[in-house]
Amino acid sequence: MAAKGSGLIDSIGAFVVTMGERVDELAEKYKVAGDDYNSIMVKAIGDRMAEALAEMIHQRVRNLWSYGESEDLSVKDLISEKYRGIRPAAGYPACPDHTEKLKIWSLLGAEEVTGASLTETYAMSPASTVSGLYFAHPQSRYFNVGRIGEDQAKSYAERKGWSDEQMKKWLAPVL
């Protein structure tokens, strides 16, 4: 028998945004010319632009989901993330498992749509690429996943279909 729903409406989204490979190409051009400063600056600006794009899309999603339209936030409020919902990303303290990026990539057809890809260690390429999830619930909050016990690691590995070796490789930062 199916459980009755709460009747509450909630939303979750996923995203992948990139500034594209031209950022890396321009940074490399400066590096080859011996201009490390401009190479670093191009990369930094590319990273900040990708983050800004993810935030802009998050704002549009909040509006699409009908609760962001009433937000009257200053730039300082936006930077302080005083809006409803969160934007967690795989590989960060709330979601330390980088392999979860693959689910987002697959779900969205991200490589085909954006040209961005994942390396064998799940780093995003080009470097000025951001991915993650949008959670709409007003009580959504960031948290850090601390050290996990052996029993938790084994349970997670079983659910992921991982061997002990894979579990130790991918969960090393939190073991």
Does 12-144 carry CATH code 3.10.196.10? Answer: yes
Q: Please name the amino acid found at residue 131.
A: S
| Residue 133 neighbours by CB under 8 Å, 6+ apart | 12, 13, 14, 15, 87, 88, 89, 104
Handedness of CA 27, 29, 30, 31 (dihedral sign): positive
Return d(Cα 93, Cα 147) in angstroms, integer: 11
Domain edges within the chain:
12-144, 146-175
CB–CB of 87/61 below 8 Å? no
Q: Which residue has the tokens 């303290």?
A: 93
Q: What is the pLDDT of residue 4?
A: 61
Q: How many CB atoms lie within 10 A of CB 133?
A: 20
Q: What is the pLDDT of residue 2?
A: 41
d(CA 100, CA 24): 25
- Position 173 scores a pLDDT of 87
CA distance 140 to 169: 29
Query: Given its phi and psi angles, is residue 84 left (phi above 0), alpha (psi -120 to 50 degrees) or beta?
Result: beta
Q: What are the mean pLDDT values of the chain's consecutive 10-residue runs (175 residues total)?
A: 62 94 97 98 97 92 84 85 88 91 96 96 95 90 87 91 90 88
What's the pLDDT at 3? 44
What integer pLDDT is reported at residue 5 of this predicted model?
Answer: 67
pTM assigned to the model: 0.85
Strand partners, 125: 117
The rounded distance, in Å, linking the Cα atoms of 144 and 98 is: 15
At a CB cut-off of 8 Å and minimum separation 6, what does 100 contact?
90
Q: Which residue has the tokens 């490789």?
A: 169
